[in-house]
Chains A and B, each alone.
Chain A
Amino acid sequence: MAYEVNGKTVEHDEEGYITNLSDWSKELAEVIAKEENIDMTDEHWEVVNFLREYYDEYQIAPAIRVLVKAMKKKFGPEKGNNKYLYELFPYGPAKQACKIAGLPKPTGCV
């Protein structure tokens, strides 16, 4: 269970979340995104970057609501809403975006 990036292998768990968070790179994000059938656009990157920043500060991904609020501030209400986030990451902004951002999967009743 590993991704291949620039000839380097990066271990991941059963569900595709990387096991060593420091292995993350932008190239890796593109690779994971491809496996998830996602073409990374600027908006995708905006989400991923925000998740990583938030994680840096709090050691956890933000609640969707917090993410929505941040997107709203940045791009206005048209892109700062739940529906749009699901369009970007159909399998849930929290779980799918976390995977691409190289963060652990949020666990629990979520």
Chain B
Amino acid sequence: MAEEEKVIEELTTEEALTDPLYVPEPVEGATEHVRSFPAAPQFQEKLGYPGERPENWQEVALAKMDELRGKFRSFRLFLDICVKCGACTDKCHYYMGTADPKNMPVARQDLLRSVYRRYFTLPGKWFPDLVGARELTEDVLDEWYTYYFQCSECRRCSVFCPYGIDTAEITMAAREILDSVGYGMKYTNEIIGKVFDIGNNLGLPKPALASTLEDLEEEIEDDTGVKVRLPLDEPADVLLVTPSADFFAEPHIDGLIGYAKVFHALGEKWTLSSYASEAANFAMFIGSYENMRRIALRIRKAAIDLGVKRIIIGECGHAWRAAYQFLNTLAGPFDFLDPKYPVPQHICEYTWEAIQAGKLRFNKEENDFYKVTFHDSCNVSRASRMGNYPGGQFDIPRNIIKAVCNHYYDMPEGTIKEATLCCGGGGGLLTDDLMEIRKKGGSPRMKALKQASEEYGVNKMAAICAICKTQFSKIMPYYGYGMDDIMSVHQLVSNAIVLPGSEQEAELDGTDENEATEAAE
């Protein structure tokens, strides 16, 4: 196939294979075949959407578009003000990785904007061809479904747009419109339903969660000789809400162990909640405030029921956005919590504060096998903050890593911090049926990592996002890395932390266990 050859040609030159920011020439239709499974009716209905496409679906879709135009200034404005300057066209990792022009941010927006123009603006009604307006047909709907699920809502384009147009806002609106005509995505919508039923994305019931946590307590005791607890549904000062992948997946689970050790070392009274056993909020991905709120309210209820003073969120990118930018708005005000602390806080803010106060002891040599780099997760970088100054979200995780590792190196400029490249699996794309787009979308990041490996010998990448971690553990093997070369930041903390009374402490201080325990007391 000619198209396929063109894609291969564009993406396999020496430069294309090594330059993380390489921009291919557009090849039309390059990824039009990549589509995820649509949601079955039972998954749709649980979220308040029709299970089947209604007879008058065009009317419904256009009415939804009009409704969203009245509810969200972002959507209304962004549809109007794009001047097609082209500044964003080379900024999307999916475009860089696939060469499909519909993956250029402005072109992705135009899939919807063209319909908006046709039905809601005079020029589009009078001169559709002149202004690139088009009817809402079945093909258009399919095209929306295809390409709005090739966007990870990472906001890289919004950094570079002179008007701050954020394609994520358009993508969310498009997905909400698709859902309103019964055309939802299986992966995201099935998962949201599970949160409503069971409390987390995994569908992990309380007994299973309790048993997993017990297992982890055992594991920590085996490793350190210290009884570190992972409390569940206990009255406490701190409620930790973390992505459920932290209870289940590799390398996430080592991050959870890291949080537990930090809490233990500080003597914190903390707890997990089985009711709010999920920090992720996939309803954000589909732009549904109603569903997003329903998930956010679980955190509110858990905080009230457990009588906590503060809420801390575990390592997860979009969850941190959902918490930082949306939790207060959707489930606030949180005036029943201790006003001394921001609501919510990130686990990295918590750990870094303790490190700064000198309350944690580390043996950095434990991480000496590793030459570490840090992958800035998109939602953390461009849709949130840590600490009290702009950019704290870049410094704090790096500071933590540097406090526990001797060898830290950044990936190249232009691929980190506010310009960070998405892992390729965010925004609800972390599903096997989208593996092709995940691999291709992840390629710019992988090339940046390779540069860091070649220059500094970097052999591990740390991240603070459940999606990033899973995505990388799947795609890194395609790029010559091991699936365990992606780590949690708190896994590095966990490796290096010296708990009072632990075997590690005894070894370091050259005393036997009993003496160390006495010293700690």
Bound form: Cα–Cα A108–B187 in Å: 8
- Of B201, B205, B433, the residue contacting A108 (CB under 8 A) is B201
When the two chains form their complex, are residues B205 and A60 in contact, meaning their CB atoms are under 8 A apart?
yes
- Residues of chain B within 8 A (CB-CB) of A77 are none
Given A106-B202, A109-B466, also A63-B248 (CB < 8 A)? yes
- Residues of chain B within 8 A (CB-CB) of A65 are 215, 219, 250, 253
When the two chains form their complex, are residues A59 and B205 in contact, meaning their CB atoms are under 8 A apart?
yes
- Residues of chain A within 8 A (CB-CB) of B202 are 60, 106-108, 110
When the two chains form their complex, are residues B186 and A14 in contact, meaning their CB atoms are under 8 A apart?
yes
- Of A59, A60, A110, the residue contacting B470 (CB under 8 A) is A110
Interface pick from B1-9, B92-100, B206-214, B503-511: B206-214
When the two chains form their complex, are residues A108 and B207 in contact, meaning their CB atoms are under 8 A apart?
no
Given A60-B203, A60-B208, A66-B212, also A108-B245 (CB < 8 A)? yes
- Residues of chain B within 8 A (CB-CB) of A107 are 187, 190-191, 194, 201-203
Interface set, chain B 189-226, CB cutoff 8 A to A = 190-191, 194, 200-205, 207-208, 211-212, 215, 219
Complex interface bits, B234-259 against A, C-beta within 8 A gives 1, otherwise 0: 00000000011101111011000000
Complex interface bits, A77-110 against B, C-beta within 8 A gives 1, otherwise 0: 0000010001000000001000000001011111
- Is B284 an interface position by the 8 A CB rule? no
Q: How many residues of B contact A (CB 8 A)?
A: 38
- Is A15 an interface position by the 8 A CB rule? yes
Which chain B residue lies CB-closest to A15? B432
Complex interface bits, A28-64 against B, C-beta within 8 A gives 1, otherwise 0: 0000000000000000000000000000011110111
> In the complex, what's the smallest C-beta–C-beta distance from A78 to chain B, in angstroms?
18
Most buried by B among A62, A63, A64, A104: A63
Bound form: Cα–Cα A95–B205 in Å: 18
When the two chains form their complex, are residues B245 and A110 in contact, meaning their CB atoms are under 8 A apart?
yes
- Residues of chain A within 8 A (CB-CB) of B201 are 107-109
Which chain B residue lies CB-closest to A58? B208
When the two chains form their complex, are residues A110 and B211 in contact, meaning their CB atoms are under 8 A apart?
no
Given A14-B37, A58-B207, A60-B205, also A109-B212 (CB < 8 A)? no
Given A58-B211, A65-B253, also A14-B433 (CB < 8 A)? yes
- Residues of chain B within 8 A (CB-CB) of A63 are 212, 247-249, 253
Bound form: Cα–Cα A14–B470 in Å: 22
- Residues of chain B within 8 A (CB-CB) of A12 are none
When the two chains form their complex, are residues A95 and B200 in contact, meaning their CB atoms are under 8 A apart?
no
- Residues of chain A within 8 A (CB-CB) of B37 are 14-15
- Is B280 an interface position by the 8 A CB rule? yes
> In the complex, what's the smallest C-beta–C-beta distance from A63 to chain B, in angstroms?
4
- Residues of chain B within 8 A (CB-CB) of A108 are 191, 194, 200-202, 243-245, 248, 280
> In the complex, what's the smallest C-beta–C-beta distance from A68 to chain B, in angstroms?
9
> In the complex, what's the smallest C-beta–C-beta distance from A101 to chain B, in angstroms?
16
Bound form: Cα–Cα A57–B205 in Å: 11
- Is B467 an interface position by the 8 A CB rule? yes
Which chain A residue lies CB-closest to B216? A65
- Residues of chain A within 8 A (CB-CB) of B498 are none
- Is B396 an interface position by the 8 A CB rule? no
Q: List 10 interface pairs A-B (beta carbons < 8 Å), by A numbering.
A: A58-B205, A60-B203, A62-B212, A64-B248, A65-B215, A65-B219, A65-B253, A107-B191, A108-B248, A109-B245
Closest 7 CB pairs of A and B: A108-B201, A58-B208, A109-B466, A109-B245, A110-B249, A63-B248, A108-B202
Given contacts A108-B194, A110-B202, 19 further A-B contacts (CB under 8 A): A15-B37, A58-B205, A59-B205, A60-B203, A60-B208, A63-B212, A63-B253, A64-B250, A66-B212, A66-B215, A95-B432, A106-B203, A107-B191, A108-B201, A108-B245, A109-B243, A109-B244, A109-B469, A110-B248
